[in-house]
Amino acid sequence: MSTSLFRVDKFAVPTASLSAFLARVHNVDGLLARQPGCRQNLVLTQTEGPGEFNVVTIVEWDSAEAMARAKSTMQAHYASEGFDPQAFMESLGVRGDLSVYSRYPLRQMPACR
């Protein structure tokens, strides 16, 4: 059974702030991808539909320990830059919904084609 955990962050980003927000996400994306235990790292932008969240990031981690180590590393990186993620989001008018998920144990399902 997989012990993977998924950090899923959903953001409602005003159109005027999208470019600045995605530039920062791109920076963070590169750092996360180099962390031990990072299996995959996705940044998704909404292309259609009425949903309120127009940017979603999904990072799959090998384990809770790998995710915790990466969180510590990122916090240290932010501190060295003097970067405050919450203040950054507030300055751009971004609202976030940040959560950790695990895979629901379904029966064997056929692969998508």
What CA–CA distance (Å, rounded) separates 86 from 97? 12
CA angle 11, 27, 20 (to 5 degrees): 55
pLDDT in tens, 25-36: 999 999 999 999
Instruction: Note whether residue 107 is domain-resident.
Output: no
In the beta sheet, which residues pair with residue 40? 60
Q: Is the pTM of this model over 0.85?
A: yes
CATH number at residue 29: 3.30.70.100
Asked, for residue 113, whether it belongs to a domain, the answer is no
Domain-embedded: residue 111: no
Q: Which domain holds residue 61?
A: 5-102
Contacts of 34 (CB under 8 A, 6+ apart): none
Predicted confidence (pLDDT) per residue in 37-58, tens digit: 999 999 999 999 998 999 999 9
Say if 76 falls within a structural domain.
Answer: yes
Catalogue the E-assigned strands of 13-110: 38-45, 55-61, 95-102
Whether 112 maps to a domain, the answer reads: no
The total number of structural domains in the chain stands at 1
Residue 16 lies in a domain: yes
